[in-house]
Amino acid sequence: MTKPIAANQPAVPSAYLPGDSTRDYMTSAMISIFLGWFGIDRFYLGYTWQGVVKLLTFGGFGIWALYDEIMILTGSLHDADGKPLRGYSQNKKTAWMIAAVLWLVNMLMSGFSFGLQLVALLLSSN
C-alpha cells in the first residue's frame, strides 16, 4: 500500500535522492552542449529570465554558453531551487567524454578549414 501524496508535495519517484533535483544532469549537459547558445539550458534548469537574456545575447556572445557548459559538466550549476542535478555521479564521465570528442572535432574542423583557406590563398597568389 502506498502513502498518499500531500497536496504541496510533488510526485517524485523513490529512486531520486531527497536532496536531488528532478532535473537530470545528462539532459542538462547535452542541452548545454548543443543548445546552450540559445539559453535552453537555463530554461531547463528553471532560470527563466537568465534564459531569455542568454537567448537575446546569443549565449552571452559565446562566453556565457561556454561558462554554463563547464559549470554543468563539473556539477557546479544547480537548478533554480538550488538542488544538485540528478544523476551527476553516474553520468559525469559519459558527459565529459561526449564534450571532449565534440570539442576535439570542432578544433580539427577549424584547423582543416584554416588549412584549406591557407592553401587557397597560396594558390591564388601565383
Residue type, 5: I
Task: Convert the pLDDT of each residue in 4-41 to its tens digit.
Answer: 555 565 555 445 556 778 899 999 999 999 999 999 99
Task: Convert the pLDDT of each residue in 39-76 to its tens digit.
Answer: 999 999 999 999 999 999 999 999 999 999 999 999 99
Return d(Cα 64, Cα 60) in angstroms, integer. 5
Eight-class DSSP state of 16: S
Q: Give the position of cell 559519459.
A: 94
Q: What is the pLDDT of residue 24?
A: 93
Let me know the angle formed at the C-alpha of 70 by 65 and 75, rounded to the nearest 5 degrees.
125
The pTM of the full predicted model, rounded to 2 decimals, is 0.73
Query: What's the sign of the alpha-carbon dihedral 87, 47, 69, 39?
Result: positive
Q: Residue 85 — pLDDT band, cuts 50, 70, 90?
A: very high
Q: Residue 2 — pLDDT band, cuts 50, 70, 90?
A: low
Kindly state the helix (H) or strand (E) to which residue 4 belongs, with its residue range. none
Q: What is the pLDDT of residue 119?
A: 84
Q: What is the pLDDT of residue 14?
A: 45
